[in-house]
């Protein structure tokens, strides 16, 4: 981390913007200038389907005028356009204020100044694309050596974000962050049945605020054969039975469970209804803070924006609030929210927890997950399985769905193994499990220890209108849950018609 006075031409532009909004009567203003670079590689069935580079640059000005918010943004980072956009932001705020409203009030924040960058060993943008493609094609070739693999695919993604934040309160913060991620997947297809296995996680693999060393450590090629063989094995596996059982989840699936059933309902803007027309609200209403049992007493969850390598890590959020570690679930009790400068005072807090992030220069910051981490317990996965008489062990995300207050969820894993008498046995296809959030976490009776704890990167968290995609993190270790309903609609009653007849759900 280094501290400087800022890049002079950009600083001139930010000062121009802030002077302009002040002169137009804004009581608060900030400007973010963001440059984003992305490189993506997609390989499928021996072909390089995608090799792409994307660069994106612009600025956004956010103001409060007459007690209401306005925001305007543009791709043209020039003094003339900054003047126009500043005027538009204030005009929009005054339009917001033209209908009945409660004046926006912000929790105080100490103005900050400095330049901050996350460290990395190997800059992924300096690694030749041929080397990256070579790894993916090698893994792809090995996967296709297994019969019935209809789709073998692999991908790598790299991002760099350079952000300048300046506010009328005196902050001027420059931040740089680089992220890397990769994954492979094999889809076995035979007679209408389609089954997929992935590594190291599904839907693009795993991601980290790290350099190319993160990709090298994955060793994608070494896992290709196993992934393909497991996908093929699933074609002939029996359907996951419908039952109520003990369920053990592997890390990447548990990361999604934390994301959907804890990360989203603790977003305080959702709680106050500002996402109610789209993503929904939350069952974790303010009167539950400090006196609602969310999970069993071994469940401890923190929102930690300071984790090394976390996609949800930063030095300052997009309101200029420093990164923090906030307790969310303490020995099973619900004790904290993800907050912003606007929402924190509404639950009696004197400062923001620092969770406001924007998806680029053309979006306003919203409350987003940082790294929502389940703290490790004192088990191992092996001990958990040996300690389970009748259960199911599920690995990697198949699909996900949860209601708009984040209570009723239904998730699918890619694969599951029967646990019988403390050992893994029969493999099942199409495993699903469902529950009510607090009942599910209330049944958590074992969490693996820090040796099996891993921070997963999720680069596709959607929220807001216009839509925003956040990159967030979830640190988890495999965990066990009692009395979980598995195998939803295994054998639905009634006459089966059309395509289901031959495929048999």
Partner 1 sequence: MLGREKVLDIVRRAVEYSDADQTQAAVEIGESSLTRFANSMIHQNVSERNGGLAVKAIVGKRIGYAVTNKLDDDSIRAVVEKAVSFARNSGENPDFVSLPKPKPILEAETWDQRTADYSPEDRASAVGGLIDEGKARGASAAGLLNNAYAENAIVNSLGIEAYSADTVARMQTVMTAGDGFGYADRISRRIGDFDTVEAGIEAADRSVRAQNPDAIEPGEYDVILLPYATGDLLEYLSYLGFGALAVQEGRSFMKLGEKVVGDNITIWDDALDPRGIPVAFDPEGVPKQRVDLIVNGVANALVYDSLTAHKEGRESTGHSTGGLGTYGPMAANMFMQPGESSLDEMIAATKYGVLVTRFHYTNVIHPTQVLITGMTRDGTFLIENGRITKPLKNMRFTDSVLRILSNTDMISRDLVRQSCTVVPAIRAKGFRFSGTTEF
In the region spanning residues 28 to 57, those forming contacts with partner 1, defined by CB under 8 A, are 42-44, 46-57
What does each C-alpha distance from 436 to 322, 407, 411, 466 come to in angstroms?
34, 5, 12, 30
Does residue 249 interact with partner 1 by CB under 8 A? Answer: no
Two tokens at 185?
A: 């997947």
Q: Which is nearer to partner 1, 69 or 417 (CB)?
A: 69
**Of 20, 28, 70, 391, which one interacts with partner 1 (CB under 8 A)?**
70
Name the segment binding partner 1 (CB under 8 A); options: 117-125, 291-299, 406-414, 417-425: 406-414
Q: Are strands 243-249 and 390-402 parallel, antiparallel or unpaired?
A: parallel
Name the segment binding partner 1 (CB under 8 A); options: 315-323, 392-400, 416-424, 444-452: 392-400
Please state, in angstroms and rounded to a whole number, the distance separating the CA atoms of residues 164 and 33.
5
Burial class (CB in 10 A: 0-12, 13-18, 19+), 54: exposed
To partner 1, the closest distance from the beta carbon of 61 in angstroms equals: 10
Q: Which is nearer to partner 1, 157 or 371 (CB)?
A: 157
Please state, in angstroms and rounded to a whole number, the distance separating the CA atoms of residues 261 and 435.
10
Does residue 78 interact with partner 1 by CB under 8 A? Answer: no
Q: Using alpha carbons, select from 197, 302, 250 the residue that is nearest to residue 453.
A: 250
For residue 442, the SS3 value is: helix
**Of 71, 379, 417, 440, which one interacts with partner 1 (CB under 8 A)?**
71
**Of 272, 314, 453, 481, which one interacts with partner 1 (CB under 8 A)?**
272
The DSSP code for 118 is: -
Does residue 64 interact with partner 1 by CB under 8 A? Answer: no
Name the segment binding partner 1 (CB under 8 A); options: 208-216, 325-333, 370-378, 395-403: 395-403
Residues 154-213, interacting with partner 1 (CB under 8 A):
187, 189, 192-194
Query: Can you give the C-alpha Rg of the chain in angstroms?
Result: 24
Helix axes 79-97, 8-23, angle to 10 degrees: 30
For residue 370, the SS3 value is: coil
Does residue 244 interact with partner 1 by CB under 8 A? Answer: no
Does residue 276 interact with partner 1 by CB under 8 A? Answer: yes
To partner 1, the closest distance from the beta carbon of 315 in angstroms equals: 25
For residue 94, the SS3 value is: helix
Does residue 130 interact with partner 1 by CB under 8 A? Answer: yes
Please state, in angstroms and rounded to a whole number, the distance separating the CA atoms of residues 229 and 225.
6
Does residue 256 interact with partner 1 by CB under 8 A? Answer: no
The DSSP code for 238 is: P
Does residue 451 interact with partner 1 by CB under 8 A? Answer: no
Does residue 398 interact with partner 1 by CB under 8 A? Answer: yes
**Of 403, 420, 450, 491, which one interacts with partner 1 (CB under 8 A)?**
403
Does residue 88 interact with partner 1 by CB under 8 A? Answer: yes
């Amino acid at each position: 981390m280094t501290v400087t006075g800022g890049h002079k031409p950009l600083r001139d532009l930010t000062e121009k913007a802030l002077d302009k909004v002040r002169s137009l009567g804004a009581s608060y203003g900030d400007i973010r200038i963001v440059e984003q670079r992305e490189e993506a590689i997609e390989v499928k069935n021996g072909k390089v389907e995608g090799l792409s580079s994307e660069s994106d640059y612009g600025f956004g000005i956010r103001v409060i005028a007459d007690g209401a918010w306005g925001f305007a943004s543009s791709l043209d980072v020039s003094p003339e356009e900054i003047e126009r956009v500043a005027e538009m932001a204030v005009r929009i705020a005054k339009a917001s204020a033209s209908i009945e409203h409660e004046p926006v009030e912000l929790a105080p924040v100490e103005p900050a100044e400095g330049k901050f960058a996350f460290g990395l060993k190997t800059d992924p943008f300096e690694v030749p694309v041929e080397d990256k493609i070579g790894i993916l094609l090698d893994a792809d070739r090995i996967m296709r050596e297994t019969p019935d693999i209809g789709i073998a695919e692999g991908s790598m993604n790299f991002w760099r974000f350079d952000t300048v934040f300046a506010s009328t309160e005196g902050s001027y913060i420059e931040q740089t962050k680089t992220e890397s991620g990769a994954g492979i997947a094999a889809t076995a297809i035979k007679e209408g049945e389609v089954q997929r296995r992935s590594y190291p996680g599904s839907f693009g693999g795993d991601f980290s605020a790290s350099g190319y060393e993160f990709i090298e450590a994955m060793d994608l090629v070494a896992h290709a054969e196993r992934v393909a063989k497991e996908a093929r094995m699933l074609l002939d596996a029996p359907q996951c039975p419908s039952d109520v059982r003990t369920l053990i989840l592997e890390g990447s699936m548990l990361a999604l469970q934390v994301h959907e059933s804890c990360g989203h309902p603790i977003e305080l803007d959702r709680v106050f209804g500002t996402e109610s027309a789209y993503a929904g609200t939350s069952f974790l209403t303010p009167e539950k803070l400090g006196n609602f049992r969310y999970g069993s007493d071994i469940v401890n969850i923190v929102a930690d924006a300071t984790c090394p390598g976390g996609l949800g890590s930063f030095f300052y959020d997009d309101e200029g609030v420093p990164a923090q570690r906030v307790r969310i679930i303490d020995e099973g009790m619900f004790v904290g929210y993800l907050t912003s400068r606007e929402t924190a005072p509404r639950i009696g807090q004197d400062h923001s927890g620092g969770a406001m992030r924007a998806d680029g220069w053309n979006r306003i910051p919203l409350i987003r997950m940082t790294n929502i981490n389940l703290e490790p317990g004192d088990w191992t996965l092996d001990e958990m399985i040996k300690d389970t008489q009748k259960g199911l062990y599920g690995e990697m995300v198949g699909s996900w769905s949860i209601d708009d207050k984040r209570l009723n969820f239904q998730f699918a894993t890619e694969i599951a193994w029967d646990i019988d008498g403390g050992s893994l046995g029969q493999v099942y296809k199409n495993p699903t499990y469902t529950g009510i959030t607090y009942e599910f976490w209330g049944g958590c009776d074992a969490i693996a220890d820090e040796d099996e704890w891993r921070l997963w990167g999720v680069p596709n968290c959607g929220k807001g209108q216009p839509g925003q995609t956040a990159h967030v993190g979830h640190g988890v270790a495999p965990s066990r849950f009692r009395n979980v309903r598995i195998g939803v609609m295994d054998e639905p009653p009634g006459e089966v018609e059309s395509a289901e007849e031959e495929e048999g759900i």
